[in-house]
Amino acid sequence: MRGFLGSSVGVTCAAALALPLTLPVTPAQAGPATVASEAAAPGSTQSLPLVPLTRKRSLGPTDRTQGLARRNVRPFSLVGVIWDDPNSELNGRVQVRTRAADTGDWSDWQDVETHNDEHAADPDTDESASRRVHGSTAPLWVGDSDGVEVRVEAERVAREAAYGPQEYARNGPREKRASAPAAAPLPGGLRLELVDPGGDPPAPDDARTAGRAGGAPAGLRARSVHAGAPDGAGAKGAVIPALSREETERTYFPDGTTRRRTTPYIGPRPAIVTRRGWGADEDLRERGFLYTKTVKAAFVHHTASGNKYSCSQAPSIIRSIYRYHVVSSGWRDIGYNFLVDKCGTIYEGRAGGVTKAVMGAHTRGFNTNSMGIAVIGSFGATKPTDAALKAIARLTAWKLGLYGANPRGKTYLKSAGGNLYRKGKNVRLNVISGHRDGFATECPGRLLYGKLGTARTTAARYQGR
């Protein structure tokens, strides 16, 4: 259904892979209540334009509110709001309530995180500049639903911010009492996206086919990593099996003789559910792969999609986020390189090979030479599980070990531009960092961010440091 990028497999320089994204108009651009549905795709997306709400339905004394009244819709499980210009911010509050398909009960109002452009491709890349890209909120998992109501209220802007600090210093308190706060305008083209992830994929006939295709990028081959490592792009099985540390070293560094002298520190490879395993519709994404030179750092995220899910639902959530990122937000693939659920299961994210330096769209400004790991859930007020933290440590010990990185160390990444660091600035970061270290955001949530020190120590121990 989509135009293909020229194949770039085996090229490791991101600049050499800058290819135009020439894709047809998506359902999110096509107008009212359109549905994205391919014959071979298990899921679909309903895109509903938001309309001004009356004062009675608004959240406060302002008509700067858009939304939709209660309505019946086709089944869906994940919601989000998008808008036309990805460079415009949604300064406001987004709330939804949904009707459970099995009971017919309506939920309470739930907040949708308006994270704007913090999870995105780097500025000045073809993925970021594509005409398909939209501004978008975080996705929210609501489970099987067939009814929805939504309201979006513009944020009130205090008068002192509106006319400047010096004028406020002269007239502030009296002026502020005399005038109501102004409402920031909502971005244009607001639409509600309702995502149906479809059914789970059938069990593969032979799990032993996991990850037979692929190979290592040139940067690894130069360091004697086996080019036929069985977990590159196009893995055909549902799960890439776990390996012991000794098996990991033999698999990726077969030329090594004495570990201390010739083999870098590397943790045992964890089991990884492949894209086939969680049911990725490969016709949705762009065909080619984008690679950077190395993996120097790992950024930890949360999906901000809520914690009301069972681990058996994780593949459905990932399919929904994938579809939301590609069909609704206009990205070339899911933004994260890996995802982790609350039970500690690790999932392959953006396509291109789990051993490779695949360029993601997870930390705006720092996607080059890094990887993004998203824990499924929201961790501002909820603690991450021990299983999820262990999975982060095991994954980073292995993947960073392939590229010689110390999980407890520091590294430098060059900023591509963002709201914390100017373009071109070399920034010193933890090898395992939180999203908020590279971008002004709450991600990965206060309680997950506070556990990253433990993850660093555990990952280093898995590497034998």
Taking only the tens place, the pLDDT of each residue in 305-316 is 999 999 999 999
User: In the structure, what pLDDT confidence band is assigned to residue 127 with cuts at 50, 70 and 90?
Assistant: confident
At residue 164, does pLDDT exceed 50? no
pLDDT at 125: 76
Do 420 and 451 lie in a common domain?
Answer: yes
The verdict on 227 and 178 lying in the same domain is no
- Proportion of the chain above pLDDT 90, given as a percent: 60
The mean per-residue pLDDT over the stretch 432-437 comes to 95
161 and 232 share a domain? Answer: no
The label of the residue with tokens 């920031």 reads 184
- Round to whole Å and give the CA distance between 202 and 74: 24
If you average pLDDT over every residue of the chain, what do you get? 80
**Per-residue pLDDT tens over the stretch 338-361:** 999 999 999 999 999 999 999 999
End residue of a domain, out of 152, 172, 196:
196
Count of structural domains, the chain? 2
Which CATH number fits the domain that encloses residue 454? Answer: 3.40.80.10
What pLDDT score does 324 carry? Answer: 97
| φ/ψ (deg, to 5) at 141 | -80, 125
pLDDT above 70 covers what percent of the chain?
Answer: 72
Residues 6 or more apart from 87 whose CB is under 8 A from it? 117, 135
Distance of CA 196 to CAs 77, 322, 408, Å?
6, 11, 40
pLDDT at 417: 81
The per-residue pLDDT for range 72-121, each reduced to its tens digit, is 999 999 999 999 998 888 989 999 999 999 999 999 999 999 876 656 66
Show which of 175, 196, 217 is a domain's final residue: 196
Summarised one tens digit per residue, pLDDT across range 370-395 is: 999 999 999 999 999 999 999 999 99
| CA-to-CA separations, 183 to 56, 64, 65, 387, 397, in angstroms, rounded | 17, 7, 10, 43, 47
Range of the domain at 419: 207-462
* Per-residue pLDDT, 12: 33
Residues 41 and 60 in one domain: yes
457 and 399 in a single domain? The answer is yes
| pLDDT higher than 90, residue 140 | yes
Q: What is the pLDDT of residue 419?
A: 75
Predicted TM-score (pTM) of the model is 0.80
Please tell me whether residues 177 and 216 are part of one structural domain: no
Asked whether residue 37 falls in the same domain as residue 121, the answer is yes
CA angle 68-70-76, nearest 5°? 90
Domain for residue 352, yes or no?
Answer: yes
More confident residue, 41 or 117: 117
Spatial separation of the C-alpha atoms in residues 197 and 326, rounded to whole Å? 13
Q: Are residues 392 and 304 in the same domain?
A: yes
User: Does any domain span residue 116?
Assistant: yes
Whether 248 and 288 share a structural domain: yes
